């Protein structure tokens, strides 16, 4: 299936992707970044899959599907010649163990259903030993164990378990899949119908806190729910996406693991939560951030695991063929070792926003920030890998320098606004020095635009953030010229590319092309609004909203060549600027 054919369910510690055809093709347990027990997304059903749907429909797509109200409870319905059947999929809030519930309900008539489950551990590599215990299936493989409660008898064969059964109008049957460590005793069973009621109530109560009442509330609320679903509740960390290796270029090598927490998402994520009225989640995120980055400033990483682990070694899984033959399939992320100077500005801005929003002061946070600023003072004039984590040579990326300026600027603002101590006058001098150099070396006087890096001719969508972060006012001719240049040179079929993908531009050091990063197009909409082109901004924003799939989700990119979403899914870095832009345009 296409990437946009999937919907998300989750329990704020992990998440599953459910296809339109009733197949769960991706689920990692017990955490977002754990090995998958259903990995058909990156291979086929032999790598792990759980299908449930009408028996004789040939695994066709559901007639319709939706989230139940403003929740993460998914309802898929099939109209068949003999009646209508509904499958409700959800993951209740974590209790002792992670559970996945699938409830079959006949809406009308009598429908023959079928299910087929193939449990595989370690990303489809391990075929577990399966036995029946008191009517339940138990699968064991190494440290992993999974239990399946089925209301109908399952027949084993071909390393799978299958069943056919009938449901009549008003009848409901519940399947429950539970993971737990293989060395522990049998997990406690949940009441699936009771958990359905509690899960619906949990989401209803959470959405009630949303303070956004603008014209795009449905899109904003669904994006906020998605961010909540990507939050690892025990720590407050937010993963970029629940998937790995969904390709940015179909059939290509641009396949990365996004099941980690990027610091660069800090500013917009925190602002999105605060702007939506979710100070509790914002506080938890700030606490995760401070724990993750604690230590020497020179040891700051661009990303961490959901619990703050730092070692995210990149590996290739050669037994998986990849989504639509996109190889290699990777876990871990080698970019963790890159120098990306922009993250210092993003961290400083996020912590400044937390204070502006009314969060209580934190002395430890200020101590960490002062150390970060000392590091920026010593290293801001060095080349780095930049915002886009290029795997080509380091450069003096303009956006990285701008965010170094942001780091100093926010330090000054915190000291002046909240009485924090520090060498403020010195910080101002360094801040002004960075500003002057950027305007001198990062601006093309002939073309009247900032450029991707010092001395380069290429543009970069990250330059759209210059007015958004306050480096220059929107009415500055250099800002207007940059916005118009990006719109003129980086837009393809109405969408903004990160940077030119010409064969003679080796900036990222990788072969092949890619789709248009949706975040970049949202940035353009906000920048257009800031320079006074509000109608044009709204038109672009609303066109971007039409790219969401039928349940309101966005991947990392949209490829106009194929008219498809590409990249990991759903992507926080797409939903966060959606929220930010909606608020700005409102």
Q: pLDDT value at position 408?
A: 98
Per-residue pLDDT of the chain (586 residues; tens, 9 = 90+): 999 999 999 999 999 999 999 999 999 999 999 999 999 999 999 999 999 999 988 899 999 999 999 999 999 999 999 999 999 999 999 988 999 999 999 999 999 999 999 999 999 999 999 999 888 999 999 999 999 999 999 999 999 999 999 999 999 999 999 999 999 989 999 999 999 999 999 999 999 999 999 999 999 999 999 999 999 999 999 999 999 999 999 999 999 999 999 988 767 788 888 888 898 888 888 888 888 888 887 888 989 999 999 999 999 999 999 999 999 999 999 989 898 999 999 999 988 988 998 888 888 889 989 999 999 999 999 999 998 888 778 999 999 999 999 999 999 999 999 999 999 999 999 999 999 999 999 999 999 999 999 999 999 999 999 999 999 999 999 999 999 999 999 998 899 999 886 555 566 666 667 788 999 999 999 999 999 999 999 999 999 999 999 999 999 999 988 999 999 999 999 999 999 999 999 8
pLDDT confidence of residue 146: 97
Which residues are within 8 A (CB) of 540 and not within 5 positions of it... i.e. 6 or more apart? 494, 521, 524, 525, 528
- pLDDT of amino acid 290: 85
Whether the CB-CB separation of 210 and 276 falls below 8 Å is answered with: yes
DSSP 183-224: TSPPPPPP-HHHHHHHHHHHHHHHHTT----STTHHHHHHHH
The Cα 63–Cα 73 span in angstroms is 17
254: left (phi over 0), alpha (psi -120 to 50) or beta: beta
pTM of this structure: 0.95
Peptide bond connecting 30 to the previous residue in cis, omega within 30 degrees of 0: yes
The correct CATH number of 3-205 out of 3.30.930.10, 2.70.98.40, 2.60.120.310, 3.40.190.10 is: 2.70.98.40
| CA–CA gap between residue 196 and residue 69 (Å, rounded) | 13
Give pLDDT, residue 53: 97
Separation between Cα atoms, residue 372 and residue 195, nearest integer Å: 45
| pLDDT tens by residue, 181-235 | 999 989 999 999 999 999 999 999 999 999 999 999 999 999 999 999 999 999 9
Tokens of 356: 């502006």
Beta strands in 388-533 (DSSP E): 443-444, 449-450, 491-492, 495-496, 516-517
How far apart are the C-alpha atoms of 392 and 138, rounded to whole Å? 48
pLDDT at site 580: 93
The CA distance from 505 to 514, in Å, is: 14
Phi-psi domain of 169 (left: phi exceeds 0; alpha: psi -120 through 50; beta: other)? beta
CATH fold, domain 209-585, is Glycosyltransferase (1.50.10)
Residue with tokens 């990507």: 230
Report helix, strand or coil for 486: helix
- According to DSSP, the residues that pair with 64 across neighbouring strands are 77
Distances (CA, A) of 385 to 406, 460, 482, 512: 18, 14, 22, 19
- Residue 238 contacts residue 312 (beta carbons within 8 Å): no
Q: Where are the domains of the chain?
A: 3-205, 209-585
**Torsion angle (degrees, nearest 10) of CA 201, 206, 208, 213:** -140
Residue 164 three-state SS: strand
246 CB-contact burial (10 Å; exposed 0-12 / middle 13-18 / buried 19+): buried
Cα(282)–Cα(232) distance, integer angstroms: 13
């Amino acid at each position: 299936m296409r990437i946009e054919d999937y919907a998300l369910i989750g329990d704020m510690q992990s998440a599953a992707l459910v296809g339109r055809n009733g197949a769960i093709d991706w689920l990692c347990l017990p955490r977002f970044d754990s090995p998958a027990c259903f990995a058909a997304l990156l291979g086929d059903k032999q790598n792990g899959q759980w299908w449930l749907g009408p028996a004789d429909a040939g695994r066709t797509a559901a007639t319709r599907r939706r989230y139940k109200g403003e929740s993460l409870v998914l309802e898929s319905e099939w109209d068949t010649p003999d009646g209508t059947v509904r499958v409700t999929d959800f993951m209740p809030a974590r209790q002792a163990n992670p559970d996945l519930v699938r409830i079959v309900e006949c809406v009308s008539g009598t429908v023959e259903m079928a299910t087929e489950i193939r449990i595989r551990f370690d990303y489809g590599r391990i075929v577990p030993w399966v036995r029946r215990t008191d009517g339940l299936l138990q699968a064991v493989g190494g440290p992993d164990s999974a239990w399946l409660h089925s209301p109908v008898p399952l027949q084993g064969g071909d390393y799978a378990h299958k069943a056919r059964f009938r449901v009549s109008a008003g009848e409901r049957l519940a399947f429950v899949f539970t993971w737990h460590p293989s060395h522990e005793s049998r997990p406690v069973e949940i009441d699936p119908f009771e958990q359905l009621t509690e899960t619906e109530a949990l989401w209803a109560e959470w959405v009630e806190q949303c303070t956004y009442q603008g014209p795009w509330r449905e899109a904003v609320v669904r994006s906020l729910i998605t961010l909540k679903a990507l939050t690892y509740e025990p720590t407050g960390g937010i993963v970029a996406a629940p998937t790995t290796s969904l390709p940015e270029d179909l059939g290509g090598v641009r396949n990365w693991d996004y099941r980690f927490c990027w610091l660069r998402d800090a500013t917009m994520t925190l602002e999105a939560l605060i702007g939506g009225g979710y100070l509790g989640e914002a506080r938890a995120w700030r606490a995760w951030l401070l724990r993750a980055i604690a230590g020497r400033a020179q040891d700051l990483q661009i990303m961490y695991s959901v619990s703050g682990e730092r070692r995210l070694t990149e590996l290739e899984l050669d037994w998986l063929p990849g989504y639509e033959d996109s190889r290699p399939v990777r876990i871990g992320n080698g970019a963790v070792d890159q120098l990306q100077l922009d993250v210092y500005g993003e961290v400083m801005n996020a912590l400044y926003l937390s204070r502006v929003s009314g969060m209580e002061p934190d002395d430890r946070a200020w101590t960490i920030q002062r150390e970060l600023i000392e590091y920026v003072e010593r290293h801001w004039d060095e080349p780095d890998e930049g915002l886009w984590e290029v795997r080509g040579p380091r450069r003096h990326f303009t956006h990285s320098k701008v965010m170094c300026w942001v780091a100093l600027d926010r330090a000054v603002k915190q000291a002046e606004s909240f009485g924090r101590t520090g060498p403020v006058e010195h910080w101002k001098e360094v801040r002004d020095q960075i500003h002057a150099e950027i305007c001198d070396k990062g601006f093309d006087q002939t073309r009247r635009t900032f450029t991707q890096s010092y001395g380069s001719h290429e543009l970069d969508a990250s330059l759209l953030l210059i007015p958004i972060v306050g480096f220059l006012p929107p009415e500055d001719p250099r800002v207007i010229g940059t916005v118009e240049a990006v719109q003129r040179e980086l837009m393809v079929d109405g969408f903004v590319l990160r940077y030119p993908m010409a064969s003679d531009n080796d900036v990222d050091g990788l072969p092949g092309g890619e789709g248009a990063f949706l975040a970049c197009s949202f940035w353009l909409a906000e920048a257009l609004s800031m320079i006074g082109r509000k109608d044009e901004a709204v038109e672009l924003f609303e066109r971007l909203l039409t790219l969401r799939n039928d349940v309101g989700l966005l991947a990392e990119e949209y490829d106009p060549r194929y008219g498809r979403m590409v990249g990991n899914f759903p992507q926080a870095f797409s939903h966060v600027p959606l929220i930010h832009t909606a608020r700005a345009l409102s």
